[in-house]
């Protein structure tokens, strides 16, 4: 009897105790993934080429007057009493020994032109002199900077004299020097020098008008 009573009280105690509620698990807040913005590169603009600045065209340039420059010296040479008339003369190409660039073919042609009006010498034509240069292996712009080369070329064309001409000093204000050499002996027969005449020439479309 006591045993049954104990069992009944125990059952009543168990059914009367409220069940302790379970605490829900703390799941936590899941943060959304961070999105890194992607910056798109801007297309590069094409680089425009820089056009070079054209230099201003000069209104005028200094030009050498070769006929007026060589004429006084040629007249002095032809008046020399030591030289007999009728001899063959080779006009050596004018050599530029200045400190700059000078176009000398015009000076050489001017000497030929002045001598053409004088009967003192029989001048070797420019074409024949050019052919002799080629035969001896000399370039057309070789100024024969040594007197020995000039005399050798004169012997090749059977000339008795050679006119050796050089430009010296400043290229902006050169000095014209001439020497008349005997081909047979190499002797200096005459020499002279003078300034090169100049003048201002107007320029049109890059071309001097004189």
pLDDT digits (tens, 9 = 90+) for 50-73: 666 766 666 667 789 999 999 999
- Work out the number of other CB atoms within 10 angstroms of the CB of residue 146: 11
Q: Which residue has the tokens 């020098």?
A: 193
Q: Where are the domains of the chain?
A: 65-208
Predicted TM-score of the model (pTM):
0.68
Please give the Cα distance from 173 to 195 (Å, whole number). 8
Q: In the predicted model, is pLDDT for residue 32 greater than 70? A: no
pLDDT category, 157, cuts 50, 70, 90? Answer: very high
Please name the CATH architecture into which domain 65-208 falls: 3-Layer(aba) Sandwich (3.40)
């Amino acid at each position: 009897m006591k045993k049954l009573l104990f069992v009944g009280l125990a059952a009543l105690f168990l059914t009367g105790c409220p069940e302790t509620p379970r605490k829900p698990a703390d799941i936590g807040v899941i943060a959304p993934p961070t999105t890194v913005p992607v910056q798109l590169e801007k297309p590069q603009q094409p680089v425009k080429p820089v056009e070079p600045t054209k230099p201003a065209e000069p209104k005028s340039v200094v030009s050498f007057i070769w006929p007026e420059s060589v004429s006084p010296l040629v007249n002095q040479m032809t008046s020399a009493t030591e030289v007999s008339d009728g001899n063959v003369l080779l006009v050596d190409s004018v050599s530029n020994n200045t400190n700059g660039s000078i176009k000398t073919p015009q000076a050489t042609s001017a000497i030929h032109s002045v001598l053409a009006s004088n009967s003192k010498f029989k001048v070797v034509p420019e074409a024949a002199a050019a052919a002799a240069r080629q035969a001896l292996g000399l370039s057309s712009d070789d100024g024969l900077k040594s007197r020995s080369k000039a005399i050798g070329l004169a012997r090749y064309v059977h000339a008795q004299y050679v006119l050796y001409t050089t430009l010296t000093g400043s290229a902006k204000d050169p000095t014209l020097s001439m020497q008349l050499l005997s081909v047979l002996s190499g002797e200096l027969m005459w020499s002279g020098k003078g300034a090169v005449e100049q003048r201002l020439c107007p320029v049109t479309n890059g071309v001097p008008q004189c």
